[in-house]
A and B are shown apart, each in its own frame.
Chain A
Amino acid sequence: MGKLGEAGLAATAGPARTLGMEGECRASQARSWGLPAGGAGGDSPGGDAPLPGSISSSSLLQAEVLDLDEDEDDLEVFSKDASLMDMNSFSPLMPTSPLSMINQVKFEDEPDLKDLFITVDEPESHVTTIETFITYRIITKTSRGEFDSSEFEVRRRYQDFLWLKEKLEEAHPTLIIPPLPEKFIVKGMVERFNDDFIETRRKALHKFLNRIADHPTLTFNEDFKIFLTAQASEFSSHKKQGPGLLSRMGQSVRAVALSMRGVKSRPEEFMEMNNFIEIFSQKINLIDKISQRIYKEEREYLDEMKEYGPIHILWSASEEDLADTLKSVASCIDKCCKATEKRMSGFSEALLPVVHEYALYSEMLMAVMKRRDQIQAELDSKVEALTSKKADTDLLTEEIGKLEDKVECANNALKADWERWKQNMQNDIKSAFTNMAEENILYYEQCLATWESFLTSQTDLHLEEASEDKL
């Protein structure tokens, strides 16, 4: 999802992008609707605005891309693309190697140009004297210049994901960071590492990393890159850097104290946002619970149904005339069971994880709101200090100036990300429930067909018998 690739998007209501790290952002450089007119990389703010590895179909940008001061390797990559770009992208002759797929040209109306592909798989159990834990294999394939290679394979455990999330929250306090799956499932978990739990978690972790990869800002985060690429020892030494536990604790204490102030002077649009978040949070959590409950009830229904068909077979053993009819009924019931299983698996793949993720997201949203309020509160307290002339006014004014920038950055970042998040949420929810409805419709169609063919077979038999009787 390159920031500069979508010339066409300025016209459409595209998702908002921000550049750089909010903490260092200076108002003049904040580009919320992020598409610099001309230069591809001419003006990159800070040292941290990576150039896009994505290519748009705009020939102007193509030229700019080739002007980049990049490594030989990357140039080669790009020149490969250049040759590819001459081809009609509908051509069936497009090579299908993974790397070239990454570099595939896409059309303007497909804003998502993926140049970072991440998979999470192969959970493995590790036993040490102190503990047992699971690691997951993470494979990253990318064409981006700033990555040293195009493929990476690392192993990470849940703790590492937690670390990444915290770093992202630190770096981007008012961006909506994707949620992680829960640390523990409290209810009824005897064996911490049962297969279902691990699989559910793996899928959620996969989603987590992909959400970050798809996020216009977070995808370029340095810690994210290290998470994806660093080998074990390099990674653990990197983790040890950064503010220590005590300072982090100190920060959060201050934060709590300040957050209340932030609430009072919250601008209107953020009041609305907060209102939405509160109600959404309530509703989505309910929906999450209801959905889990439905799955459980369906499971129990299926278990009983599985017993129902075979009884008819048992019965047919003591009957003569009725035997065939009974066997047919048994077979219909079994077919309906299979259809139920299919529907249930669709439900658990398409609906449950989505709804659950958004239930977890609601916590993220509340946290983001809080952090925004904190930043605001910091400003407000300094302003208050100024008015009461408690300290050096010049110093204060300078600080206030900085803080005002900080607040504006934070607010803009949140606003933009909020719109993006909401769009995604609506899409995802619509998809999920549409899928559920479609699974149900399919299920009922299948059952209908099964019973109708049973009926036809019975009436055919009946007609046969009737004509025999007449003889």
Chain B
Amino acid sequence: MAIKLHGHPFSAATHRVIACLEEKGLQYEFLHIDLSTGQHKKEPFISLNPFGQVPALEDGDLKVFESRAITQYLAYTYADKGTPLVPQDLKETAIVYVWMEVESQKFDAAAAKLSFELVTKPMLGMITDDSVVEEHQEKLGKVLDVYESRLAGSKYLGGEAFSLADLHHLPIVSYLFGTKTKALFDARPHVSRWCADILARPAWQKVVEMMKH
């Protein structure tokens, strides 16, 4: 199979890429990288991602790492397959770029920390640090206030159509919805509406199913 995704079933970044592959209806082989034995820090994986992190993607001879670079590669290369995830128009694309960076630079900074404390640590038998949770819930709240304004005037973050700008949020939003942080999203009606919409997408439901098995 031409497309190979090297990743881990519990990795949010891996889910980000799977969501994209499923939206595009692409065939791919999933290769499980065993994080517990440090497989991600050794050859042959480290040649795919010198930072020793999952995921990494192969498409024929091409190798790409960084989930948000992989999704952009897939969205552009397979533009006419499945769901369009990036616009054709230059100005619309610019707006999608903006909100992709907002996810990457603002949302993820607070949300991924919360996911680590509230989801990952308990999974690994570690103790949640409540002061870190409080600090980052406050930060996330401020970010979500901006989202609330944005989504009051726009169906999706990038505009009227679902795009990578929304998709990139799915893994961490999904994890946080299983924690007390869900309250932050519920408290903001437009954010809440948007979350329900994107989480209900069939492609994302496939990722959720995969996680159960």
Same complex origin of A and B: no
- Give the B-binding residues of A (Cβ under 8 A): none
